[in-house]
Structure formats: structure tokens, C-alpha cells
Structure 1
């Protein structure tokens, strides 16, 4: 049997409605998103006619308005949003935080770290003061000889706030604080500082003479530089220490001699007072027994007269 001939119908089926473009797969954050299509895909062509049948070509489908497509496309996408990928992938509408460069905020160090740093500075400064040469206020306060009164006051305030016994739990904080205060008071006293500077200058002169250098040599002289960086200052510091120790020994010896002399004088005064008291006491006793002595003397005289009368009668 032969197939019936194909008859073209007078009416063609309507074209299928424009479908929404398929959801594009997510792209890595580094690639830009593809442009959004503005027109839908063309409808599929109709099936070809069978052989032996002449058909007129079907009329073209009506073209959709571009404005209507642009209006309906976002509505369809919003009604059927593409599924969001799971995991570390990001959608085109939600860019990752790594693609957007944001300034990194540096947080302040924690309070515990700041407290530990302050405690360490306090311990180091206390150890430095206790190990410094206590007869040299410059060494205790850690300032140069050329420092003026303002700089000395500034350094003392800074260190005193750091080492105040009310803020430090160190067992020798009070001792270090007292040494610091004593050094500052010594340097702020004009007369005491003048004597100290004279000692340092004497140590410098002695050191230069020992090195065979002139006493008026400049600090930037090549012969000073040949000694090494800070070599002359270290020698002067050691010589100053020796002079101060000798002066302190002599001062203490003079104090001991003075105390001994004062003690001997005090003992002489005490012995004189004791002698005077003893003589006064003996005089009081002598005066108190005067009547007894007089009465005894009278009794003795009466007895002697009586014995004398009796002896005359015996002889007569």
C-alpha cells in the first residue's frame, strides 16, 4: 500500500514560545561574566516534505519585539533562578571576597602581650640600676655628662614612672627607685654636680697622660680614633670609678677617725662627769656624818678626862 500524499494544511502550527536561555555554569572569580543574550534562539526548522509532493514554503514565524524580549527575559530568570553551586564556588551575581581587594586591618597587640613587654622592661631596668656603679650618678641614671637639667629631669620622670613601686612587683623595686631618685637629686644639685664633673675631668686627664696624649686633644683626633670606638670613654669611665672608690675609701676612713676621736672625747667627758659625781657624793656623805663625828669626838674627850682623874687619885 502506498502512503497517502502529504497535504499541506492551510494553517501552520504556532511557533513555540521563546524559552529562557539555559543557566550558564558558574565561572571562576578571575574570569569576567559572559554577556547576557538579548535574543532567544531561533525555532527549529519544520520537517522536510516527502518526495513527490510540491509544497509552498511555510510563512516565516512572526518576529518577536526586541523590547518585549528584554522585558520578559529578566522576569523569567527571576521566576526560575539558576541553582547556586555548593562548596567554595561563587555565582556570577555574588563575587567572591578574594576578587575584591580590601585593605587588611592590622589589629592592636593584645593586652597580655603589652603587659608582658612592660614587665620585661621593668625587670631589665631594675637589674641595670642595681648593677650600675652607685657612686656615679651618671651611670645610675644612664645619661651623658653633657646632659642639661631638662634632659636629666625628663629621663628621671620616664624611668620613675616605669619603676614606681606601686606599679612594679619586683622584690627590689624600692631599692632601685631610691637609687634613681638619689642620682637625679645629685645631678640637679649644682655644687654636687660640679664636684662630680671635676672628678670625671681629672680621670680624663690622667687617662690621656697614661696614653701619652696631650690633655687638650680633640675628640675627633686621629689618635683618639685609632684607639677604637668608645675605647677612650671606657678608659675614662674605669679611671673615674677608681678615683671615686679611692675618694670613698678615704671619706669613710676619715669618718671612722672622726667617730673614734669623737668617741674618745665623749668618754673623757663621761669620765669627768663620773669623777665629779663621785666627789660630790663623797662630800655629801662627809657632811651627813658630821654630827656623828662631832658627838664621837666629844665622847672620846670626856672618856679621856675621866680616865685621867682616876689615875691621879691612884698615884696620890
Structure 2
């Protein structure tokens, strides 16, 4: 009876697999989170790059080329609170992705150099502190704007009352969100751009002032040089002047006496001329007074 039932029963899964022309394909194994956590970081990187396509590499090159020039965090696609260790890991990951030997993008080499400069700047303590000063300023501005925006927001007020740590805890959670980091990033661009503009303007003024001072210094040097040249020529012609003076003295000097005043020469009447020549001064003398005697008839 049992044999009849077994014979009449339809083929099960195992018999169906055997009856088929092709064996059943096994589903690909997907690693679980626990398995991924146990893998070595090197193995994780290899697995990541094995799945990369050329289009992914090209997109990353374009992202780096168009990243904000004044912020190395954006070039490395990092949040502004990233640690130096985060910088090292991210640089290694992205540099392997856009390496010119593996990426066919024509500007892969340029993107690779940009990543290197960004990593170098963030690993320099002095430059990093200078950048973080401006980023902190941008974050403070975002916080002020949020405080002003949510001042009369009832939802935020209720949420802060329900939160275990009150308003501070609520804001701490908000600052971990993507929305906050996006606002922080945009505000940082504005702050860094204004800082760079002031820096360039000040640099231009300093350059103009330097050129002005250099011009005055050059002018003073030329005047001093001309004075020295004149003094040199004066010394070189000293003997010539002394010799000329001695020759002048030997020749008797100026025979005309210039220290005495001479009266003007008297002019006499010339019969051939109808007028009497007088010295220039006599032309302006008043005429002699007429006698007051009686008139003759």
C-alpha cells in the first residue's frame, strides 16, 4: 500500500532536480555584517575595488576636480569633524580609486595630485588648526541661525522637553545629521571665500606699498649716485681749475677797474649836427627856470 502511494505520488523536489537536464544553480553567498566585520581591512579594500566600474572611477575623478578649492575636507569627501586617522584611510581609498594606472579618465593624474595636496594639508598641524578656526566660525554661524529659526518652533520645544538631555541633547543629535553637515559645508564655503578675498586684497595692497617703497628707494639711490658722480667730476677737474686761475693771475687779471665810479663825459656842440648829444641822464632833467625880468618891446 505504501509502495503504491509512493509510486502514485508526484516527484518531489529532489526527483525534479534529478529529472531535469541541467542541475539547479545555487544562490550566490552574500556576506553578513558579522562576516564583513571579521575581514581584514586589506581584504575589504580589495573586495570594494573588484566591484568598481570604470564609470564609478570617472565619476569620482569629476567630483574631485569640481570640489571646493579652499577646503581639503571636501576634496576628500570627509565631514569637518574627521580625525587624522579618518583622513589617512579616506586618502588611501580614494587615491587607489583614481590612480592613473587604474583609472582611464584623462584627468585622473590631476585628481590624484589634488588628493595628495588635501591629505598633506590636513596632516599638517599648523594648517589644520588654521582651517579648523574658520570652520568653527562657520559652525557657530549655523548654530545662531538655527537658534533663531527654532525660537518659536513648538515641535522643537516639545522635542527638547521629551529628550533626556533637554535642548542641548536635541541639538547634539541634530549636529550629527546630514542636514546639519550640509548647512555647515555651505556656510564654510562662504566663510572661507570671504577670508580668501580679504587675504588677496590685503596682499594686493602690500604689493603696491612694497612697489612704492622700492620706487622711492631706487630714486634715492639714483640721486645719491648722481651726487657722487658730480663730486667725482669736481675733484677730477680741480687741477685744471687751479691751473687756469694761475694763468689768469700771470696775465695781469682784469685791467679794467671795476671798483671806481666815473662821471659821464661832457658832450660838445657839433657844427655838422643840428642837435646836442647829451648823456642819457640829462634827457630827463627839468628845463632851466626863465628869468623874471621885464619884457622888451
The alpha carbon displacement at 1:262 in A equals 1.8
Indicate the residue corresponding to 1:292 in structure 2.
240
The reply on whether 1:236 has 2:184 as its aligned counterpart is yes
* Residues 275 and 165 of structure 1: CA distance in aligned 2, closer, same or farther (over 3 Å): farther
Indicate the residue corresponding to 1:206 in structure 2.
141
Indicate the residue corresponding to 2:23 in structure 1.
101
Indicate the residue corresponding to 1:178 in structure 2.
113
Q: TM-score, normalised by structure 2?
A: 0.57
* Residues 120 and 223 of structure 1: CA distance in aligned 2, closer, same or farther (over 3 Å): closer
- Count the aligned residue pairs: 204
Structure 1, unmatched stretches of 5+, are: 1-30, 32-95, 107-113, 310-316
Q: Which has the higher helix share?
A: 2
* Residues 223 and 115 of structure 1: CA distance in aligned 2, closer, same or farther (over 3 Å): closer
SS of the equivalent of 2:251 reads: helix
The alpha carbon displacement at 1:142 in A equals 0.7
SS of the equivalent of 2:143 reads: helix
- In the TM superposition, what whole-angstrom CA distance separates every residue of 1:92-136 from its partner, at most 9, and x where no partner exists? xxxx99546376899xxxxxxx99965323321121011111111
The alpha carbon displacement at 1:252 in A equals 1.1
Counting only pairs closer than 5 Å after superposition, residues 23-102 of structure 1 correspond to structure 2 as 98-99=20-21, 101=23
The alpha carbon displacement at 1:241 in A equals 1.0
- In the TM superposition, what whole-angstrom CA distance separates every residue of 1:17-38 from its partner, at most 9, and x where no partner exists? xxxxxxxxxxxxxx9xxxxxxx
* Residues 272 and 186 of structure 1: CA distance in aligned 2, closer, same or farther (over 3 Å): same
Partners of 2:104 and 2:243 in 1: CA distance: 83
Larger CA Rg, structure 1 vs 2: 1
Q: TM-score, normalised by structure 1?
A: 0.54
The reply on whether 1:257 has 2:192 as its aligned counterpart is no
Structure 2, unmatched stretches of 5+, are: 1-10, 12-17, 29-48, 152-165, 257-297
Partners of 1:286 and 1:207 in 2: CA distance: 75
The alpha carbon displacement at 1:175 in A equals 3.1
The reply on whether 1:143 has 2:78 as its aligned counterpart is yes
